[in-house]
Amino acid sequence: MTTAALPQATTAGRELPPIAGLGIAALASVIASGIYLAATAGRHQVLGIPIALLVAAGIIVAVAVVLLVRIPEFAWRKFKMVFGWAIVEYAVFAGMLTYVFVLDHVPTSSLVLLIVSLALFAVDIPMMFGFSVARFQPVDTPRREPNE
């Protein structure tokens, strides 16, 4: 009997942590911070609100990462493939936006917050992509040495 004929376990039927939900919550915080910064651009900005939103988003992303790495049986190879290519895409996207903000002479305090927002955005979205794909893939099996 070949390994292709064996049923392959997936994580689709198992209870998994709410990685996608946490990612959406972090994304909402990042977007709300960006909207606030854009709405108050060109006048005196009180930065407490966007800082609080970004701290909340950072904590949420950190919790999601911790919950994600604690999943024992998961399609990690597929996750790494999707996450890797998505993070390349979003890093380029975040880099281009950072360049535009610098070129547009955004004030330093706002620029720092926007760069932090882009960094969270560039990690959060690929993590959700990777998780959403890998959760429906066959679970990775540990490799065995030929003499075992």
The pair phi, psi for residue 42, each rounded to 5°, is 90, 0
Predicted local confidence at residue 43, as pLDDT: 80
Which pair of structure tokens corresponds to residue 77? 């190879």
Task: Sketch the domain layout of the chain as residue ranges.
Answer: 18-134
The whole-angstrom separation of Cα 29 and Cα 39 is: 15
What's the pLDDT tens digit per position in 71-112? 988 999 999 999 999 999 999 999 999 999 999 988 888 899
Distance of CA 63 to the CA centre of its chain: 11
pLDDT tens digits, one per residue of 5-62: 444 555 556 789 999 999 999 999 999 999 998 888 878 888 999 999 999 999 999 9
Among the listed residues 121, 144, 127, 6, the one whose alpha carbon sits nearest the alpha carbon of residue 71: 127
pLDDT tens for residues 109-145?
A: 889 999 999 999 999 999 999 999 999 999 877 655 5
Give 18's contacts (C-beta < 8 A, 6+ positions apart): 67
Q: Tell me the β-bridge partners of 142.
A: none
Quote the pTM value. Answer: 0.82
Q: Say which amino acid occupies 107.
A: P
Indicate the burial class of 57 (C-beta count within 10 angstroms; 0-12, 13-18, 19 or more).
buried
Buried b / exposed e across 15-52, counting CB within 10 Å, b at 16+? eeeebbebbebbbebbebbbebbeeeeeeebebeebee
Residues 6+ apart with CB under 8 A from 128: 19, 20, 23, 24
